[in-house]
Amino acid sequence: MNRKQLNIGLLGFGSMGRTHTWAISVIPFYYRNPPFEARLAGVYTRTERTREDAKSEFGFVKAYSSEDELIADPDIDIIDITTPNIAHYETIKKAINAGKHIYCEKPLTTTADEADEVARLSSDAGVTAQIVFNTRFLSPIMRAKQLIDEGRLGRIISFRSSYLHASCTDLAKSAGWKQDKTVCGGGVLFDLGSHALDLVYYLCGNYKKVWGMSQIAHPTRLGMDGKPWQTNADEAFYMLCELECGAKGTVEANKLAVGANDDFKLEIYGERGALRFDLMEPNWLWFYDMEDKSGDLGGERGFKRIECCGRYPEPAGIFPGVKAPIGWLRGHLGSMYSFLSAVAGEKQVGPNFNDAAHIQRVMQAAYESDMTGAPVVIS
């Protein structure tokens, strides 16, 4: 089998940079005969020590002295962006102008206009461009999509999507860049909320109207320099949403949830059935089917737990086995494989930059609603 060699240039090497590097490196273990050979061709971070350590420890071919040098290198096929949010827009435009394919961490940009622009530019340039909404690629979510597409839930009536962390509850801990609006462009809505919004969009359809309300519980906390700092980004965000299909529901992104870890929960209720998912128990999808017979003592009706685990379709599922439990990283692996397969010439399954731009418009509308107190229709 002739495999297309794909040379990947990574920008940034924090937590997400390491995650993407892992996903690229382990693809041959999890997928049979991938149509590409992914190569860690280059890395750039602002700190020389970090990029040199990444090169020596993780096998990157070259550590570049600047972002522009990496993007301009004709040997680089793909630009993988894991830098802070405010840097995405300019980097994406440079990558498009250089004819590179792009894999970008969420959110796509910090404004809806920027997101619409880069979505249009990438489409016009004919490059493959994907946003990292990695939760789509967990097996329970893939099974949920299958059930909804088969009509097993019928018309969608309502939903609840919530993503909770405890990362803003410790006032002795200095804020990170994701809590500084001058760097991240938005608060928890951009960070966790983008994922919570995307799964509803992916499974139920476009947003039509949103009401938004932000919360800053701790106006003064320690800044990144360890000195007192005025919090400038939302620590929690609450939304009421209406979809184009008529369904209504709530979306919550919250870093003030004491005791939470990576608590992402989704519930979808239709006329014929319902679904539940919990990221802290990622091997299962709960499904309620109105077709099940009721009767004395309940009959056969009730939520059933579907064992999704490692039951991915070919060419996946070969390692570590269909019965083996999965975790958070498996979604990033599936996302990366999907993107690289599309670059290699196979059908792109998304989420593409148009999807990312829709979520950006929803988040911007939510912030506008928070400021005015009125609902905002998605343009």
Q: What is the pLDDT of residue 95?
A: 98
Angle at 135 between CA 241 and CA 94, to 5 degrees: 90
Conformation bin of residue 259: beta by default, left when phi > 0, alpha when psi is -120 to 50: left
Mean predicted confidence (pLDDT) in 48-62? 95
Mean predicted confidence (pLDDT) in 299-311? 96
Residues forming beta bridges with residue 104, ordered by sequence position: 81, 131
Range of weakest confidence among 20-29, 98-107, 179-188: 179-188
Q: State pLDDT tens for residues 280-292.
A: 999 999 999 999 9
Residue 332 to residues 23, 132, 327, 337, 351: CA-CA distances in angstroms?
6, 8, 10, 9, 13
Q: State pLDDT tens for residues 337-351.
A: 999 999 999 888 789
Residues forming beta bridges with residue 352, ordered by sequence position: 130
CB of 150 within 8 A of CB of 125?
no
pLDDT surpassing 70 at residue 217: yes
Q: Which residue type does 77 have? A: D
State the pTM of this model: 0.96
pLDDT surpassing 90 at residue 34: yes
Q: What is the pLDDT of residue 350?
A: 87
pLDDT surpassing 90 at residue 312: yes
Residues 199-216 as b/e (b if ≥16 CB within 10 A, e otherwise) read bbbbbbeebbbbbbebeb
Q: What is the 3-state secondary structure (H, E, C) of 24-65?
A: HHHHHHHCCCCCEEEEEEEEECCCHHHHHHHHHHHCCCEECC
Q: What is the pLDDT of residue 1?
A: 60
Mean predicted confidence (pLDDT) in 252-257? 98
Q: State pLDDT tens for residues 262-273.
A: 999 999 999 999
Structure tokens at 26: 């382990």
Q: State pLDDT tens for residues 159-172.
A: 999 999 999 999 99
Q: What is the pLDDT of residue 234?
A: 96
Q: What is the pLDDT of residue 347?
A: 83
